[in-house]
Amino acid sequence: MTQATAGVDLGGTKIQAVVVSAGDVVGQARHPTPNTNAADVVAEIVASIHSALSDAGIGPSELRAIAIGSPGSVDVATGHVSKARNVPGFIDDVALGPEVSAAFGGTTVIVDNDVRAAVMGEFRQGAGRPFRNFIGVFVGTGVGGGLILEGELRHGAGNAGEIGHTTVKPGGRRCGCLRLGCLEAYAGRQSIEQTARVRLDKGQKTKLFEIMERKGRDRVTSSVIADALDQKDRLTVELVDEAVDALGLALANTQNLLDLEAIIVGGGLGDRLGEPFVRRIEQAMAANLRFPERPPVVLGTELGDLSGAVGATVLIEEWS
């Protein structure tokens, strides 16, 4: 009897699915997130799970449970999701868990916060394994964070870890959440893209959008940003410098408050820019530490793209 579980990481750009058996990833699939409506997104999640199952050579009937990490506000008890700005149709309430469960003949589906899933993935099976106290900060479309304190994921009243919406510059750049000066307004991929468009409109030169078009993309993806950086595109360098400074400041504040063992940097942009980006964030953080002689370890993720999907399957274990 196979005891396989499926994990899904729902993002604004892509849906990543994995099938895990006995702790190993035995199948995976990545589908683009439809930019239409909620029904299409749910159908694509179901399709991505089927693709990952095929990849694993496992039939749907052998799935013990499915776990989905979702952005937005997640009602863990009911599997409903809302207020996910980056996923089409997910600002309104979506019965994500029940709908995916129905598509798999009533298989158990749990839904939890995407970032908490990713942190649990790194904690149990990735870069966080040696630590009992760390923050995972995921720099992607937006910026999310999750805290492991004394070996436990911190939930708070349900919303702990929102480092992306801590203020790094009072009165600063407008964030997607409408407040000013959030970390996400400087380090989130979407905000970097929007800021670049505004600067371009104002006459600043940049190769960013040429690179985007050459790569056949309709948005400034992490790899577009990486290529522009490699080409030393001035605006991109400037915007990434600001992202690094903002991350350094927010992480130093976190460290000063919590005195953690480690900081793990991931997410689409974090993973793509990789080690040099992580080292720059470490330096920017060090300058703002209260006790710079005892800095936390700063490192990248081990699971990379799969942190969220693998982490979702970890949550099944934690829940059972």
Among 166, 195, 222, 313, binds its own copies (CB under 8 A): 166
CB of 101 to its own copies, least distance (A): 28
Strands 24-32 and 63-70: unpaired
- Closest to its own copies by CB, 179 or 215: 179
Q: Is residue 230 at the binding interface for its own copies, with CB under 8 A as the rule? A: no
How far is CA 83 from its chain centroid? Answer: 16
CB of 61 to its own copies, least distance (A): 39
Please tell me what DSSP assigns to residue 156. T
x/- letters, 75..114, toward its own copies (CB under 8 A): ----------------------------------------
Q: Is residue 257 at the binding interface for its own copies, with CB under 8 A as the rule? A: yes
CB-based contacts of 165, cutoff 8 Å, min separation 6: 175, 177, 179, 182, 183, 184
CB of 225 to its own copies, least distance (A): 23
Q: Which two tokens stand for residue 117?
A: 């899933």
The dihedrals phi and psi of 26, each to the nearest 5 degrees, come to -105, -10
Report 272-301 residues binding its own copies (CB under 8 A): 288, 290-291, 294
Q: Is residue 132 at the binding interface for its own copies, with CB under 8 A as the rule? A: no
CB of 185 to its own copies, least distance (A): 13
Strands 143-149 and 152-153: antiparallel
Q: Is residue 252 at the binding interface for its own copies, with CB under 8 A as the rule? A: yes
Q: What amino acid is encoded at 201 in this protein?
A: D
Question: How many Cβ atoms sit within 10 Å of the Cβ of residue 214?
Answer: 11
- Closest to its own copies by CB, 22 or 178: 178
Q: Can you tell me whether residue 79 is helix, strand or coil?
A: coil
d(CA 56, CA 63): 11
d(CA 26, CA 241): 38
Q: Pick the closest to residue 110 from 122, 98, 92 (CA basis).
A: 98
Q: Is residue 161 at the binding interface for its own copies, with CB under 8 A as the rule? A: yes
Q: Can you tell me whether residue 172 is helix, strand or coil?
A: coil
Among 133, 194, 223, 231, binds its own copies (CB under 8 A): 133
The window from 25-33, 37-45, 95-103, 142-150 that contacts its own copies (CB under 8 A) reads: 142-150
- Closest to its own copies by CB, 26 or 286: 286
Q: Pick the closest to residue 146 from 138, 136, 156 (CA basis).
A: 136
Among 206, 253, 301, 307, binds its own copies (CB under 8 A): 253
CB-based contacts of 129, cutoff 8 Å, min separation 6: 123
CB of 133 to its own copies, least distance (A): 7
Q: Are the C-beta atoms of residues 165 and 183 closer than 8 Å to each other?
A: yes
x/- letters, 24..63, toward its own copies (CB under 8 A): ----------------------------------------
Binding residue count for its own copies, defined by CB under 8 A: 39
Report 167-206 residues binding its own copies (CB under 8 A): 167-170, 177, 179
Lookup result for tokens 């630590």: 131
Q: Which two tokens stand for residue 294?
A: 């005892």
Task: Tell me which residues touch its own copies (CB under 8 A).
Answer: 133, 145, 147, 149-150, 152, 154-163, 165-170, 177, 179, 245, 249, 252-254, 256-261, 288, 290-291, 294
